[in-house]
Amino acid sequence: MSLIFFACVVRVRDGLPLSASTDFHFNQDFLECRKRLKALSSALARYPSRGTAKGRNLSIHFLSSGDVACMAICSSSYSTIMAFCFLEELRWEFSASYDTTSINLASRPYAFIEFDNIIQKVKFHFNSTRGSRAKANWEKVEEELKFQPPVQLKLEDMELLNGMTNGGHSGVHLEVVPTYRMQPVTPLGILSLVLNIMCGALNLIRGVHLAEYSFQEDHEGIGNVIAFFVPFLACVFQCYLYLFYTSGRKVKTFVLLFCVCFCNIHLYGLRNLWQIAFHMGVASLSSYQILTRQLLEKQPDCGV
């Protein structure tokens, strides 16, 4: 009978699943445990390197090391030492197969799905009572667990990681901060960034030169200085809005566009019509790119 039902490798910083065993169990307890494993994987960075979430019939064990963590769903009767022996071997196999760079560059779930074959082999050896390999690191892991016991959790506490209220287990409170991923930068978006930086630099240079002259001789030109500096700041914030997601993007985009247009109209005389049209055109292009670059749709659950 299988004592290790499921195993996976996830990235610690964001819980992205990198590989998992393809096990199909339709038991309700197992499906519920899978959901709680997913919740726990998104908060591994908050825990020590070893941990166990105990349940009545099933338990979750995890082992973090560097950028990745190995997790397993085992029978609650399965030895904790043996479970961590399994995770240790899984971690070693994964580290030998993939380097840190490829792990950090992974952008989609199960980027290393081919590692499933190794997970299945290791799991088979540990589930087999005939395999002497299962007890190879027993003493080493037992000593490590005595020196640094795994943090003890309860499966019911995992519900709080998904933001659900559990009055009977209010001792654990973890806030998972949402992260936002934008759509990829387009060539037209890169062009708008370059033009925006150029316009911002022109506004800054003209503003500094005019400020030196105004503070020494023409004090009435302070308004023109401000009219150069405001578009400079607007260009900087337009670049920021395009690259990073913030709340109220639409309102901020239109406010920045209005500032650029208004200030350039005010500068008529110091700039000709072609220059004004160029700056307003770049600001309009940047605004369009900001408004059309949306958040990525939520990635599918994929069963983990």
CA distance 84 to 17: 19
Alpha helices in 128-176 (DSSP H): 138-147
**Would you state the pLDDT for residue 217?**
61
The residues pairing with 52 across neighbouring beta strands, listed in sequence order, are 61, 152
**Would you state the pLDDT for residue 145?**
79
CA distance 9 to 91: 8
User: Residue 79: how many CB atoms within 10 A of its CB?
Assistant: 15
Taking only Cα atoms into account, the Rg of the chain, rounded to an integer number of angstroms, comes to 28
Q: With beta carbons less than 8 A apart as the criterion, state whether 37 and 28 touch.
A: no
Residue 68 token pair: 């990745």
What DSSP element (H or E) covers 282? helix 273-292
User: Residue 175: how many CB atoms within 10 A of its CB?
Assistant: 10
Tokens 């609650």 belong to 76
Q: With beta carbons less than 8 A apart as the criterion, state whether 115 and 18 touch.
A: yes
CA distance to 48, 49, 133, 254, per residue, from 45 (Å): 8, 9, 30, 39
Q: With beta carbons less than 8 A apart as the criterion, state whether 289 and 241 touch.
A: no
CA distance 68 to 12: 5
Q: Block means of pLDDT (10 residues each) for the chain, length 304 residues?
A: 84 91 77 88 87 87 91 90 90 90 88 90 78 60 80 70 43 40 82 92 88 66 85 92 82 92 90 92 92 63 38
Residues in the chain: 304
Q: With beta carbons less than 8 A apart as the criterion, state whether 29 and 98 touch.
A: no
Could you give the 3-state DSSP secondary structure of residue 24? coil
**Would you state the pLDDT for residue 199?**
93
Q: With beta carbons less than 8 A apart as the criterion, state whether 68 and 12 touch.
A: yes
**Would you state the pLDDT for residue 159?**
58
**Would you state the pLDDT for residue 227?**
87
The residues pairing with 64 across neighbouring beta strands, listed in sequence order, are 69
Please enumerate in sequence order all residues whose Cβ is within 8 A of that of 118, keeping only pairs 6 or more positions apart, or say none: 90, 93, 94, 97
Strands (E), the chain: 4-11, 17-20, 50-54, 58-65, 68-75, 151-154
**Would you state the pLDDT for residue 30?**
85
**Would you state the pLDDT for residue 246?**
74
**Would you state the pLDDT for residue 174?**
38
